[in-house]
Amino acid sequence: MSAESIERSFWKVSPDQIRGFFYAGAFGDAFGYRFENEGCESQDREDCHSLLSLSDDTQLTLATCEGLIESAGKVKPECIAASLARWFQERPLRGLGSSTAKALKELSLGGHWALVGAKGDRAAGAGAAMRVGPLAFFLDLKDARDRGVLRDCCRITHHHEEAYCGALAQCLALQSILKTGQLGLGAIIEELPDCVTRDRLTWLNKRPEATLKDFAEEFGATGYVADTVPLALAGALRMTQLGFEAVLWEFAELGGDVDTQCFLAAQCYGLQQGMGGLAQDQFERLIEKDLVEEHADGFLTLLGSLGLGLVHE
């Protein structure tokens, strides 16, 4: 299903929310990247004003945006793959996982997008889920054809059903916010096929009092997508209660795949809260803030040109 055929009342979103989606996500990514696989020490909390660098989470999400812009909002795996390969060739990508690095290297050498993705148990990482957020604005995930398109976009780097299910859960979370203004775990669970990600979201939904530490102690905080995405969505819910940066610090204390956890949670929070959910100086701390701003502007222009749910306040 092309962008043009999506029901125009499918969702409504303001430019402020779109900027929140990009800016909060980028800050969450850069914040968490400092602590990936390390965790934080008490003295780290005193360093609240340092400049921060983006990791591959934001970088490949921006590359996905470029693929969408180049295809005029039609979700084409070949266009997204070409954009990912271009970024791999032209920019230093920070923190690439092994599956994503393999696929991008092979793409850059002329490999076909449908064949280069990693297979087997090692392909169940969060590398697909981390970059698909922009697709949530263009795909009707109740439509089997659009789900197939999402699966193909995941398989550019990860040929694993759990990797697809984690990416689907993140897109469903964003669409839940677009449609209702809230992140509803129950609605996400209902739309997911039988998978480990669904099981862990069900565990969370039955335990609204569970902390991020509770989840990590039960399942882990690794780069396995069924750890990362449910933990991120739990964090997004906590951000509305406890505050944005307070929950980023909770992720940092867990260690593991901190940048992706922070990034995915912050995307949801930013889309829901808009720029009002960010402190004045947070975006200014990003070394590559101009790059994020440029792509947010380009994405807004694309949405506006297609008439897709954009409302001005």
The string of pLDDT tens digits covering residues 98-108 is 999 999 999 99
pLDDT, mean over the chain: 92
Q: What is the mean pLDDT of residues 291-299?
A: 97
pLDDT surpassing 80 at residue 7: no
Helices (H), the chain: 15-33, 56-70, 77-90, 98-108, 144-155, 161-180, 185-191, 196-205, 212-218, 225-242, 244-254, 258-273, 289-306
* pLDDT at residue 281 in the model: 87
Window from 111-115, 213-217, 296-300, 309-313 with minimum mean pLDDT: 309-313
Burial grade of 255 (CB within 10 A; 0-12, 13-18, 19 or more): middle
Tell me what the mean pLDDT of segment 199-224 comes to.
96
pLDDT at 4 over 70: no
Q: Name beta bridge partners: 310.
A: 13
Mean pLDDT of 118-129: 94
pLDDT of residue 308: 79
Q: What is the pLDDT of residues 254-282, one digit of tens each?
A: 988 999 999 999 999 999 999 999 988 89
CATH 3.40.50.620 fits 11-39+52-302, yes or no: no
Q: Provide the pLDDT for residue 207.
A: 96
Q: Is the pLDDT of residue 206 over 80?
A: yes
Q: Is the pLDDT of residue 8 over 50?
A: no
Task: Scan for tokens 């509305």, then name that residue.
Answer: 240
Under the banding of pLDDT at 50, 70 and 90, the label for residue 310 is confident
Alpha-carbon distance of 140 to 310, in angstroms, equals 16
Confidence of residue 5 (pLDDT cuts 50, 70, 90): very low
Please report which confidence band the pLDDT of residue 289 belongs to, taking 50, 70 and 90 as the band edges: very high
Smallest Cα–Cα separation from 120: which of 104, 150, 99, 151? Answer: 99
Residue 158 dihedral angles phi and psi, to the nearest 5° = -135, 105
Query: b/e per residue, 143-164, with b = 16+ CB within 10 A?
Result: eeebbebbbbbbbbbbbbbbbb
Question: How is 14-25 classified by DSSP, letter by letter?
Answer: -HHHHHHHHHHH
Q: What is the pLDDT of residues 23-80, one digit of tens each?
A: 999 999 999 999 986 766 644 665 656 889 999 999 999 999 999 999 999 999 999 9
User: Is the model's pLDDT at 81 over the cut of 70?
Assistant: yes
Q: Check residue 99 and give its pLDDT.
A: 96
pLDDT of residue 6: 46
Q: Which residues contact 311 (CB under 8 A, 6 or more apart)?
A: 12, 13, 14
Instruction: Give CA separation, 269 vs 66, 83, 89, 105, 242, in Å.
Output: 23, 27, 32, 33, 12
* Domain boundaries, given as residue ranges, for the chain: 11-39+52-302
What number is the average pLDDT over the span 81-90? Answer: 98
Percent of the chain with pLDDT over 90: 85
Percent of the chain with pLDDT over 70: 92
pLDDT score of 199: 98
Task: Kindly report whether the global pTM for this prediction surpasses the value 0.85.
Answer: yes
Task: Say what the pLDDT of residue 311 is.
Answer: 76
Give me the pLDDT at residue 3, please: 43
